[in-house]
């Protein structure tokens, strides 16, 4: 229906990783932020990149999705090289994932309808009527039916995040990336957004990658995490967050994951 042939998402539980990161080195100009970063994300997994401020979480995310070019290493999506791909292949692969930035990154001069329509108009050959149908469906999926003609300035922060998610889902991506989705939200709104993220995974089998330092979201949503450390310039822990909180011998991991009271049933 979307007018292009994206890479097919593998079924949850298959051997082929949704994302493979191999010896990635990230930085800006001469400044190395991360090095020797290696991990995989399984199809249909909710995977978190965690760590304290300044450890390189958002930097890693920007390098994963091609906003910045890694200094070394490789990223593969659904078994296909992305970092070393030619421009046409990279553009085709970009259609297979969505991105929700911290503030929603909505165009303030456009309505929610127009914001969600942007990727459909850029990447598909759908008619205007078909675009309208997809936009209405995506806004309905995130609980924003009836708000199509609102501008971002007319809705709350939580609604902006949901509208950004609707746009990220417009092309039915196999993978969706979230950069600090709970930033600036109150606990109740944050919890509702977490529920929506889980619903997206459970309903569509979407692979989810989340950058976050919010413990409530980490413990509630994450199947697995990698934890970055600024001094180490890379990954210092990988696994299930509840198990890491209880069993890690690294004081940096324990301090981060146990800085608040642990959720019921973990301690």
* 105 part of a folded domain: yes
Q: What pLDDT sits at residue 150?
A: 96
Tell me the C-alpha distance between 6 and 108, whole Å: 29
What's the pLDDT tens digit per position in 104-129?
689 999 999 999 999 999 888 999 99
With H, G, I as helix, E, B as strand and everything else as coil, classify residue 226.
Answer: strand
Per-residue confidence band for 102, with pLDDT thresholds at 50, 70 and 90: confident
* 12 part of a folded domain: no
User: Is residue 37 over pLDDT 50?
Assistant: yes
Please give the share of the chain, as a percent, with pLDDT higher than 90. Answer: 76
* 150 part of a folded domain: yes
User: 134 near 119, Cβ under 8 Å?
Assistant: no
User: Is residue 153 over pLDDT 80?
Assistant: yes
User: Is residue 103 over pLDDT 90?
Assistant: no
Q: Which of 95, 118, 122, 92 is nearest to 105 (CA)?
A: 118
* 112 part of a folded domain: yes
Q: Calculate the CA 160 to chain-centre distance.
A: 16
Per-residue confidence band for 151, with pLDDT thresholds at 50, 70 and 90: very high
* 3 part of a folded domain: no
User: Is residue 248 over pLDDT 70?
Assistant: yes
Please give the share of the chain, as a percent, with pLDDT higher than 70. Answer: 91
User: 6 near 174, Cβ under 8 Å?
Assistant: yes
Q: What pLDDT sits at residue 123?
A: 85
**Range of the structural domain that residue 126 is part of:** 99-170
Q: What pLDDT sits at residue 179?
A: 93
13 CB burial (10 A radius; 0-12, 13-18, 19+): exposed
Phi, psi of 135 (to 5 degrees): -60, -45
Q: What pLDDT sits at residue 101?
A: 82
Two structure tokens written together for 214: 């919010």
Average pLDDT over residues 220-236: 97
* 134 part of a folded domain: yes
Q: What pLDDT sits at residue 94?
A: 87
For 77, the enclosing helix (H) or strand (E) is strand 72-77
Q: What pLDDT sits at residue 95?
A: 85
What is the total count of domains within the chain?
A: 1
Q: What pLDDT sits at residue 4?
A: 35
Tell me the C-alpha distance between 66 and 90, whole Å: 9
User: 14 near 213, Cβ under 8 Å?
Assistant: no
Tell me the pLDDT of the chain averaged across its residues: 89
Q: What pLDDT sits at residue 263?
A: 54
Per-residue confidence band for 16, with pLDDT thresholds at 50, 70 and 90: confident
* 106 part of a folded domain: yes
DSSP letter assigned to residue 246: H
162 CB burial (10 A radius; 0-12, 13-18, 19+): buried
| Range with top average pLDDT, 26-35, 37-46, 157-166, 250-259 | 37-46
User: Is residue 1 over pLDDT 60?
Assistant: no
* 109 part of a folded domain: yes
Q: What pLDDT sits at residue 18?
A: 96
Average pLDDT over residues 220-226: 97
Distances in Å between the Cα of 161 and the Cα atoms of 17, 128, 177, 254 are: 28, 25, 13, 31
């Amino acid at each position: 229906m979307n007018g292009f042939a994206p890479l097919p998402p593998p079924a949850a539980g298959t051997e082929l990783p949704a994302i493979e990161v191999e010896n990635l080195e990230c930085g800006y100009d001469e400044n190395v932020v991360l090095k020797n970063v290696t991990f995989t994300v399984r199809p249909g997994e909710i995977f978190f990149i965690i760590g304290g401020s300044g450890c390189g979480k958002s930097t890693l995310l920007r390098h994963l999705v091609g906003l910045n070019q890694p200094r070394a290493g490789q990223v593969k999506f659904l078994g296909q090289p992305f970092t070393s791909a030619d421009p046409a292949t990279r553009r085709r692969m970009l259609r297979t994932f969505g991105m929700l930035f911290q503030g929603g990154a909505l165009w303030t001069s456009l309505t929610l309808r127009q914001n969600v329509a942007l990727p459909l108009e850029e990447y598909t050959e759908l008619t205007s009527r078909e675009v309208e149908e997809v936009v209405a469906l995506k806004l309905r999926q995130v609980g924003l039916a009836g708000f199509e003609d609102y501008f971002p300035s007319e809705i709350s922060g939580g609604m902006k995040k949901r509208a950004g998610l609707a746009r990220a889902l417009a092309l039915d991506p196999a993978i969706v990336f979230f950069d600090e989705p709970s930033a600036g939200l109150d606990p109740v709104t944050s919890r509702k957004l977490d529920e929506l993220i889980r619903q997206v995974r459970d309903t569509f089998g979407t692979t989810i990658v989340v950058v976050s330092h919010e413990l409530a979201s980490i413990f509630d949503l994450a199947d697995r995490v990698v934890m970055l450390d600024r001094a180490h310039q890379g990954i210092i822990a990988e696994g299930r967050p509840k198990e890491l909180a209880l069993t890690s011998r690294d004081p940096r991991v324990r301090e981060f994951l146990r800085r608040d009271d642990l959720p019921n049933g973990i301690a």
